[in-house]
Amino acid sequence: MSRFTLRVNGQSHKVDVAPDTPLLWVLRDNLGLVGAKFGCGIGQCAACVVHLGGAPIRSCMMPVSAAASADITTIEGLSADGSHALQKAWCELDVAQCGYCQPGQIMSAAALLAHNPNPSDDDIDDAMAGNICRCATYHRIRAGIHKAAEIMAAAKEVRT
């Protein structure tokens, strides 16, 4: 066991875990942040995506020892109150079926929109091809990302 200090959603947490523990299980078992999901454990389904230093990572593959250096954002910290454009778009378009993969989908999409605020269908397909949705809500996920881009663009217009 080793002690690590993690900065998650703007808060510091001290944990005492085996250094090879994947970040996913520290989030879920130690910190009670269960939004990131376990699906495959080998980085194939992306249900576990969180942001590390702003970049999307598969938390099931990332040992906690490698995650202690940068800010971690999980779905619980994407917005304070579910008001991120993607979260709004997901509710408005009723994207989810079972919903299990959707935190990972949203975190992957958030990373896409952060550097490409107006993605094409092809951009979306490329960026989201790592995320499995077993209920196959891919149509609505794609539409949800376009919708979120619109919401973000409108908000920007209001600000300027």
Partner 1 sequence: MSAILEAPLGRRSFLKIVTMAGGGLVLGYYVRPEARADAAKADVKNAEGSFAPNAFIRIGPDGTVTVYSARPEVGQGIKTSLPMVVAEELGADWGSVKVVSAQLDPVFGPQFAGGSMSTPMDYAVMRKMGATARTILVEAAAQTWGAPAGECVAAGGMVRHTPSGRSIKFGDLVAKASTLPVPAEDSVKLKDPKNFTLLGSRIGGVDNPKVVTGQPLFGIDQTRPGMVYAVYEKSPVWGARPLSANLDQVRALPGVRDAFIIDRTVPENELTGLVPGVAIVADSTWAAFSARRQLKVQWEEGRFPDSSWDDFARQARELANAAPGANNVTEARRDGDLDKAFAGAARVVEASYSYPFISHANLEPQNCLAHVQGDRAEVWAPTQDPEGARRLASKVLGTAPEKVQVNITRIGGGFGRRLDADPVAEAVAISQRVGLPVKLTWNRTDDLQHDHYRPGGFHFLKGAVDSKGGLSAWRSHHVAFGSNMGADDYPARFVPNYLLLNSKLENGIPQGPWRAPGSNTYAWVVCCFLDELARAAGRDPVEFNLALLGDRDLVPGSGARGRPYNASRMRNVVRQVAEKAGWGKPLSRGKGMGLGYYFCHQGYVAEVAEVTVSPKGELRVDRVVAAVDVGSQIVNLSGAENQVQGAIIDGLSAAWLQELDIRQGRVVQANFDDYTMLRMNDAPRAIEVHFIKTDYPPTGLGEPALPPLAPAVYNAIFAATGKRVRQLPLSRTDLSWS
- Binding residues for partner 1, rule: CB under 8 A, are 1, 17-18, 20-22, 25, 28-30, 32-42, 44-45, 47, 74-76, 78-79, 82, 86-87, 90-92, 94, 96-103, 106, 121, 124-126, 128-142
End-to-end Cα spacing for the chain:
51
Cα 9 to Cα 4, 33, 99, distances in angstroms: 16, 10, 22
Which residue is associated with the tokens 């951009």? 123
Alpha-carbon gap, residue 141 to 106, rounded angstroms: 9
Q: Which residues face 63 on adjacent strands?
A: 22
The distance of Cα 10 from the centroid of its chain, to the nearest Å, equals 15
Q: Which is nearer to partner 1, 32 or 159 (CB)?
A: 32
Alpha-carbon gap, residue 16 to 55, rounded angstroms: 25
Q: Helices 138-159 and 102-115: crossing angle, nearest 10°? A: 40
Alpha-carbon gap, residue 101 to 87, rounded angstroms: 14
Shortest distance, CB of residue 142 to partner 1, whole angstroms? 7
